[in-house]
């Protein structure tokens, strides 16, 4: 491959009330506010030296504008554009200066219709990792991954591995041998991008890294004290798949956020992907408790990079399957 995708780097979400979103993400969860221009809120974690990893853009309806990846060089953008054009997938350019904090960017629609963005340049800001006086809420550190519902997981995995250079860390297989979900990475941890079987394309959640498991529990206390108890959807718990501690939240517009800590290194070239049976009760929740129905059924609408209209959802290729859990 003639390009290098480094990691997942930012997401742009449409929200209906910017101030309500600010209270949730900044006051409750502890994101650092880099900028606010009145229509967009630019947020980052304490560890991050980039201008932002999350943009909240005020709009009439909640939606996902784009899921962004950082690449190594500007030349990588041209190579990626050529690749997506070769596969007859939509391509659009955002020139430098058109987005706050980000240089020239390539936007594309992937094989399942997800809106992706690639960029090489982002403005740098002060890294606040050791500004412990600023730690509050979740003590948010950095963006970690995206998880998306797509109608054809097998097609997504093949394209991301063979065409974009991702590697698989773990996957879930049905009894018939079909891939029901897959965890793919570019950085040397469990995933930058996960795909799950479901009607889509839709964004299931954005994962953000926390400094330790106690930060997840502290988040629950903070949310409850601030009146956000109903925003806690699932957890705290430990995943079997990835081994990480998790807490799933819903923001004021219903976008799902996962707070995440404790996965493992995947850098060795002889690392073999871990296979999970779809009926294994420990793969999603190692401790065995079940996820609520809304966790399987609800997700965020994504937009088309050319029309900015909602992408029409397609039914899942595989039959929907909710695993049996031991409680």
What pLDDT does 171 receive? Answer: 96
Q: Tell me which CATH code domain 5-119 carries.
A: 3.10.180.10
Element (H, E) at 149: strand 142-150
Rounded distance between C-alpha atoms, residue 148 and residue 153, angstroms? 10
Strand partners, 150: 197
Residue 201, preceding peptide bond in cis (omega within 30° of 0):
yes
What pLDDT sits at residue 321?
56
Q: What is the pTM of this model?
A: 0.96
- Kindly state the greatest CA–CA separation across the chain: 53
Which pLDDT score, from 0 to 100, does residue 207 have? 98
Taking alpha carbons only, the member of 151, 21, 6, 123 closest to residue 68 is 6
Token pair belonging to 172: 């879930």
Q: Which residues of the chain have pLDDT under 50?
A: 323-327
Q: Please tell me if the domain spanning 5-119 has the same topology as the one spanning 139-301.
A: yes
Sequence spans of domains, the chain: 5-119, 139-301
For 146-158, the pLDDT digits (tens) are: 999 999 999 999 9
Structure-token pair, residue 10? 């930012």
pLDDT at 320: 62
Q: Which superfamily does CATH assign the domain made up of 139-301 to?
A: 2,3-Dihydroxybiphenyl 1,2-Dioxygenase, domain 1 (3.10.180.10)
Distance, C-alpha 202 to centroid of its chain: 11
Q: Is 215 helix (H, G, I), strand (E, B) or coil?
A: helix
């Amino acid at each position: 491959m003639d390009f290098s995708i480094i990691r997942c780097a930012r997401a742009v979400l449409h929200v209906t009330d910017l101030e309500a979103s600010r209270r949730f993400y900044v006051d409750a969860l502890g994101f650092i506010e880099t900028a606010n221009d009145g229509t967009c809120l630019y947020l980052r974690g304490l560890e991050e030296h980039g201008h932002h990893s999350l943009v909240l853009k005020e709009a009439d309806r909640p939606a996902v504008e784009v899921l962004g990846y950082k690449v190594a060089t500007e030349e990588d953008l041209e190579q990626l554009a050529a690749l997506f054009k070769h596969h007859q997938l939509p391509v659009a350019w955002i020139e430098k200066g058109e987005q706050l904090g980000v240089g020239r960017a390539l936007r594309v629609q992937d094989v399942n219709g997800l809106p992706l963005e690639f960029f090489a340049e982002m403005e740098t800001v002060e890294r606040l990792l050791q500004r412990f006086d600023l730690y509050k809420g979740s003590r948010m550190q950095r963006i970690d991954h995206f998880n998306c519902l797509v109608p054809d997981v097998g097609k997504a995995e093949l394209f991301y591995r063979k065409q974009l250079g991702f590697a698989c860390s773990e996957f879930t297989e049905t009894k018939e041998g079909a891939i029901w979900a897959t965890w793919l990475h570019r950085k040397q941890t469990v995933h930058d991008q996960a795909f799950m079987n479901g009607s889509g394309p839709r964004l299931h959640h954005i994962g953000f890294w926390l400094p330790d498991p106690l930060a997840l529990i502290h988040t629950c206390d903070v949310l409850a004290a601030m009146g956000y108890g109903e925003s806690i959807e699932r957890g705290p718990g430990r995943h079997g798949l990835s081994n990480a501690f998790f807490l799933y939240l819903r923001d004021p517009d219903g976008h799902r956020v996962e707070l995440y800590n404790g996965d493992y290194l995947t850098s060795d070239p002889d690392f073999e992907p871990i296979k999970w049976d779809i009926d294994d009760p420990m793969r999603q929740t190692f401790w065995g408790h079940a996820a609520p129905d809304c966790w399987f059924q609800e997700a965020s609408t994504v937009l088309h990079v050319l029309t900015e209209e909602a992408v029409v959802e397609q039914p899942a290729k595989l039959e929907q399957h909710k695993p049996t859990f031991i409680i």
